[in-house]
C-alpha cells in the first residue's frame, strides 16, 4: 500500500461506549455496529467506507477500547499494534488520530486516565500534533456543566493538559455528520506521522511487550498482580485463623471468605494471563495475527483503489462536461459577437437612413423654395407683359408657366418618357435660377 497525497488515513480511539463507531458512521455513511448497552460492540479493528472530503479520499479506522468487555487490555493492544504495524510496513502512515471522550462522564476516573495514558504511549509525543481530542454527548449535559468539565479536562495535569501542550487539539462534536466532517477536516493538510508503536515494532523490531505502551501496560498489570496477591494472602491468613478455631459460628464468615478468595484468584489468573499474552505469543498466533492485520490492510487498500478508480472516472466525466461547457461558451460568445455586429450594422443602417431622409427633406424644401421663387418671378413678368391679343388665351396652370420659363413656347423635345421630360424641365429650371440667366 503506497502513500498517496490525495488520501487521508485517520484512526479513531477511545473508551468502550465513547461513540467511536457512531462518529465514523456519521462521517462516512458506513454501517459499523453501534452498541448501546454495557458490552463492547467493536471487538476488532475495522475499516470504514471511504469518503471524499475537500477533494481528499478519507479512510477511518475503528478500534476497540482498552476497557473492552470481551478482550483484555493486552489483547486490545496487540490488535491495534498488529494493524498499525501492517499499515506502516505497507507504506501508510496516519494523518490523524482522534481520541473520543464523553463530556457526559461525571469524572475521569482511574480507568479513563489509564486508557488515555496508554493512548499517549501508543502515539508518542512526536505524533501528538496530529491528535484531536474530541468531546461528544454534549446533548446529555447543560452548556455550563459541559463547559466547566471541558475547562477542567484542558487545564488539569491529570487529564489532557500535557497532551495539549505537546500540540494536540481539543474539539467538540455535536453528533451530526457535518460536525464529524469538520473534525476530520482538521487533518486536511497535515503531514502523515509515524506513531511510536509503529516505529518500535517495525523499525526497531521490538515485541509489543517491549514498546512504551507495552511496558506501561505490563507495569500496571504487575501492580494489579501485587495488589491481588496481597489481598489473597490476607484472605488466606484470615481464613486460616477462622479454620484453626474450628468454631461452627464462623462457618458463614468462612464461606464468605472462601468466595472472596476464589474471586481474587480469578482476578489474579486473569492478570497473569494478560501478562502472559503481552509477553509471549506462539509463532502460530503471531502468524495468524499478522495475516489478519495484512488482510485488513489489503481490504482497506482495495477499497481506496476502487474509490480512486471511481473518482478518476468522475474526473474524466467532469473534464468532458467542462469541455462541452467550454464549447458551448465559445458558441455563445460567437453568437454574442454576431449579435453585436448585427446591432452595429442595424445602427449604421438606421443612421444612414436618417441621413438620407434628412437629405431628401432638405432637397424637398430647396425644391419647393425654388418653385415658389420661379412662380413669383413668372407672375411678376406676367404683370409687366403687354395685354394679350383680342382672342382670349386658354387658362394656364403653374406647369405651363414653368414650361414657358424653361424652354419657351417651342414644343417640348421628347426625351423618352414622362419622368425624363420632368427631369429635363427641372434641370432647365435650376439652370434659369443660376446667376447670369434672365
What class, spelled out in words, does domain 1-206 have in CATH?
A: alpha beta
Q: What are phi and psi of 33, to 5 degrees?
A: -65, 130
150 and 143 Cβ atoms separated by less than 8 Å: no
Alpha helices in 31-109 (DSSP H): 73-89
The overall longest dimension of the chain from CA atoms, in Å, is 189
Cα distance between residue 74 and residue 24, in whole Å: 25
> If DSSP states are collapsed to H, E and C, what string results for 309-372?
HHHHHHHHHHHHHHHHHHHHHHHHHHHHHHHHHHHHHHHHHHHHHHHHHHHHHHHHHHHHHHHH
Q: What angle in degrees, to the nearest 10, is found between the helix axes of 212-245 and 251-279?
A: 160
* Cα 243 from Cα 264, distance rounded (Å): 19
Domain assignments of the chain as residue spans, ordered by start:
1-206, 207-280, 398-431
Contact 192, 95 (CB under 8 A): yes
Q: Is the pLDDT of residue 426 over 80?
A: no
Give the C-alpha separation, 170 to 135, whole Å.
8
Check whether 108 has a pLDDT greater than 90: no
Overall average pLDDT of the 77-89 stretch:
88
What's CA 139's distance to the chain center, in Å?
Answer: 26
CB under 8 Å to 277, separation ≥6 — which residues? Answer: 72, 74, 75, 78
d(CA 7, CA 56): 5
Instruction: Note the pLDDT of residue 239.
Output: 65
State the average pLDDT for the chain.
Answer: 78
At residue 99 the predicted structure's pLDDT band, cuts being 50, 70 and 90, is: very high
The phi and psi torsions of 277 (rounded to 5 degrees) equal -60, -40
All three cell numbers of 288, joined, read 495468524
Q: From 27, 59, 5, select the one nearest 304 (Cα to Cα).
A: 59
Q: Tell me how far apart the alpha carbons of residues 164 and 167 are, in angstroms, rounded to a whole number.
A: 5
Q: What is d(CA 156, CA 154) in angstroms, rounded to the nearest whole number?
A: 6
- Ranking 55-59, 103-107, 127-131, 415-419 by mean pLDDT, the lowest is 415-419
In terms of C-beta density within 10 A (0-12 exposed, 13-18 middle, 19 or more buried), how is residue 399 classed?
Answer: exposed
pLDDT (tens digit per residue) in 204-225? 988 888 898 888 888 877 777 6
- How far apart CA 45 and CA 295 sit, in angstroms, is 11
Span 334-345, pLDDT tens digits = 889 899 999 999
pLDDT band at 360 (very low <50, low <70, confident <90, very high): confident
Is the Cβ–Cβ distance between 93 and 194 less than 8 Å? yes
Amino acid at each position: 500500500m503506497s502513500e498517496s497525497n490525495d488520501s487521508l488515513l485517520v484512526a479513531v480511539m477511545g473508551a468502550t461506549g465513547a461513540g467511536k463507531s457512531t462518529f465514523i458512521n456519521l462521517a462516512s455513511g458506513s454501517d459499523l455496529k453501534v452498541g448501546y448497552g454495557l458490552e463492547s460492540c467493536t471487538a476488532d479493528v475495522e475499516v470504514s467506507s471511504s469518503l471524499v472530503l475537500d477533494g481528499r479520499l478519507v479512510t477511518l479506522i475503528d478500534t476497540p477500547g482498552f476497557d473492552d468487555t470481551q478482550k483484555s487490555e493486552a489483547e486490545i493492544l496487540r490488535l491495534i499494534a498488529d494493524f498499525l504495524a501492517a499499515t506502516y510496513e505497507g507504506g501508510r502512515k496516519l494523518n490523524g488520530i482522534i481520541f473520543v471522550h464523553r463530556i457526559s462522564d461525571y469524572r475521569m476516573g482511574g480507568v479513563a486516565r489509564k486508557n488515555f495514558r496508554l493512548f499517549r504511549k501508543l502515539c508518542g509525543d512526536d505524533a501528538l500534533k496530529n491528535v484531536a481530542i474530541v468531546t461528544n454527548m454534549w446533548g446529555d449535559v447543560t452548556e455550563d456543566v459541559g463547559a466547566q468539565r471541558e475547562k477542567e479536562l484542558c487545564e488539569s495535569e491529570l487529564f489532557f493538559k500535557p497532551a495539549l501542550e505537546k500540540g494536540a487539539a481539543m474539539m467538540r462534536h455535536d453528533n451530526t455528520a457535518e460536525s464529524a466532517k469538520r473534525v476530520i477536516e482538521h487533518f486536511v493538510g497535515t503531514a502523515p506521522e509515524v506513531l511510536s508503536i509503529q516505529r518500535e515494532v517495525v523499525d526497531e523490531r521490538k515485541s509489543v511487550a517491549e514498546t512504551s505502551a507495552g511496558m506501561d501496560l505490563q507495569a500496571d498489570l504487575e501492580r494489579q498482580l501485587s495488589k491481588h496477591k496481597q489481598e489473597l494472602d490476607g484472605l488466606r491468613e484470615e481464613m486460616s485463623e477462622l479454620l484453626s478455631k474450628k468454631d461452627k459460628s464462623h462457618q458463614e464468615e468462612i464461606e464468605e471468605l472462601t468466595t472472596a478468595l476464589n474471586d481474587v484468584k480469578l482476578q489474579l489468573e486473569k492478570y497473569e494471563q494478560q501478562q502472559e499474552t503481552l509477553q509471549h505469543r506462539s509463532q502460530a498466533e503471531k502468524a495468524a495475527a499478522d495475516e489478519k492485520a495484512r488482510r485488513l490492510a489489503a481490504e482497506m487498500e482495495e477499497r481506496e483503489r476502487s474509490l480512486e478508480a471511481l473518482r478518476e472516472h468522475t474526473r474524466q466525466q467532469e473534464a468532458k462536461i467542462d469541455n462541452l461547457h467550454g464549447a458551448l461558451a465559445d458558441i455563445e460568445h460567437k453568437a454574442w459577437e454576431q449579435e453585436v455586429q448585427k446591432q452595429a450594422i442595424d445602427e449604421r443602417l438606421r443612421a444612414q437612413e436618417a441621413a438620407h431622409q434628412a437629405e431628401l427633406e432638405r432637397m424637398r424644401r430647396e425644391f419647393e423654395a425654388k418653385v415658389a421663387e420661379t412662380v413669383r418671378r413668372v407672375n411678376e413678368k406676367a404683370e409687366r407683359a403687354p395685354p394679350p391679343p383680342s382672342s382670349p388665351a386658354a387658362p394656364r396652370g403653374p406647369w405651363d408657366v414653368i414650361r414657358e420659363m424653361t424652354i419657351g413656347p417651342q414644343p417640348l423635345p421628347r426625351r423618352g418618357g414622362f419622368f425624363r421630360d420632368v427631369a429635363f424641365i427641372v434641370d432647365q429650371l435650376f439652370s434659369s435660377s443660376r446667376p447670369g440667366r434672365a
